[in-house]
Chains A and B, each alone.
Chain A
């Protein structure tokens, strides 16, 4: 500090600190994706749509919690929240998936990622987990708010709270199923185009156009077709899995075809991930 006011050009200094492995890179990409999902660290404009959706979801949860505390006879379960918010989840996916993957395609950033220790599988894993977490938070946090509302107003003390916990945890699992399926399908569609607008449109089109198919199949004069109609749309597929695993009736009557719903949901998620991986294997070699 002797020569104040003089800036020394200390020249180039080699980096001697620690170098973390691929795992740290994946972790950083995951956190980066999760932040980007909610527009954190990005412009104010990027925050509008995600927070609009998140705000509505939170608002709905607060309203329901308030209503339920006043009128305990109203049955609106944690699972019902997911189903009622299905349009919001579609919209959220349509914002999220293009933000996570189409942007990198559009601006050609992938060669920069893949010239680093990161692999195609790492990239896909980090982006998928980020989106799953974001969608799950969109549903899980409002469910938790509903839980808080119920827990604080329960008349039966700890027993009532415990009862609510038993309802909340499976519902969180149900939300996770939504998150897994929407992340898989959404990212797969978004990875096909660099234009965020088309990716968003494509995602909405896929989710929306499959819903009426279910309604039509449910009209067919065959009970097997009626029970399996739900397989035609991701949303009713999730409903079906929920009905089967949680033992409560959600949406359509799936008859005794529950296991088929579970198998299809699993295969669908796996197929989306494999296709994503194949897609990025191809991209990363270019």
Chain B
């Protein structure tokens, strides 16, 4: 079942700025990374899903509901955490989250209970009765997350949740998001311009650039095919390349490096054997830490 499905989604702002262009994706439940540089159209995509702005062309369905016509139904099931600071300084987190819970339609007592429960889940305990103005950036991000969770949505839209956090804070926030996606059973769309960050916690990735879809796929299918071994020898690189090709390995030459696709478990041993057979000096043989980033530059077209 798809939680989000778009068909040729396009959004053009007045003045001819195209924020999204012909975007077609289907998203399955789980933790989804929405990556792209600043201005790639991530926030526009989120706003269209929330029914805050209407698409210029194409269609979008969230839980098979159209956010343009059935805005209320979508919003009732979605929680949104904006990118910018959006908290008033002079109220306590408990009060603020309760208030927003009521705005989402929770009855008074339920809102209060849900507020303290979600604040506990995001890791704010006694501090929740203090005024938000005195919070650290990390605590504020947690309050923002809690307000998105308070009405127990089925989908969370998080816009740059790690913005402004130190490395420790980032890890904690990512771990929390991962927990929400796995233990809480809530699907999460994480917007980020840092691919390295989201790939750690996501089940699938959607990459957009300049409003166009670059690639959308499950992380697992992106990474398995891509494991490479980098081989460097002092001389006779061509000789080795020929030999490895004879052995049935896929070899690409990258300057002084040979990149060998690790398609079988014994690829490592076979390379070593080839090197010793040819009596070459091996400088290095290491497994490339595949980075999803490379996939996007390598593959231009989207295969959904």
Q: Which residues of A contact B (CB under 8 A)?
A: 11-15, 17-22, 24-25, 28-29, 32, 41-43, 46, 103-104, 106-109, 111-118, 284-285
Contact = CB atoms under 8 A, between A and B. Distances in A.
B84 A108 contact: yes
A42 B103 contact: no
Contact of A43 (B78, B90, B100, B107): B90
B90 A117 contact: no
Interface residues of B, number: 40
Given A12-B183, A17-B107, A284-B52, A28 B80 contact: no
B103 A15 contact: no
B14 to A, nearest CB: 12
A22 B114 CA distance: 19
B103 A118 contact: yes
B151 A15 contact: yes
A115 B50 contact: yes
A180 B88 CA distance: 28
B91 interface: yes
B52 A24 contact: no
What 4 pairs between A and B have smallest CB-CB spacing?
Answer: A15-B152, A115-B80, A28-B102, A107-B88
B80 A14 contact: no
Contacts of B88: 103-104, 106-107, 109
Interface stretch (B69-77, B199-207, B209-217, B275-283): B69-77
B286 interface: no
Contacts of B86: 107-109, 111-112
A14 B152 contact: yes
Contacts of B110: 15, 17-18
A216 B180 CA distance: 67
A117 B152 contact: no
B97 to A, nearest CB: 10
B204 to A, nearest CB: 22
A208 to B, nearest CB: 28
Contacts of A114: 52
B117 to A, nearest CB: 7
Contacts of A19: 76, 104-106, 151
A194 B100 CA distance: 20
Contacts of A115: 50, 52, 75, 78, 80, 82
A117 B153 CA distance: 13
A24 B102 CA distance: 8
Given A11-B183, A108-B85, A117-B75, 5 more contacts: A17-B110, A109-B86, A111-B84, A115-B80, A118-B103
B95 A116 contact: no
A29 B121 contact: no
Contacts of A12: 121, 180, 183-185
A20 B107 contact: yes
A20 B82 CA distance: 24
B107 A116 contact: no
Contacts of B90: 42-43, 46
A113 B103 contact: yes
A284 B183 CA distance: 33
18 contacts: A12-B121, A15-B106, A19-B76, A20-B105, A46-B90, A104-B88, A106-B88, A107-B88, A107-B89, A108-B85, A108-B86, A109-B88, A111-B80, A112-B100, A116-B75, A116-B151, A117-B71, A117-B72
A108 to B, nearest CB: 4
A234 to B, nearest CB: 30
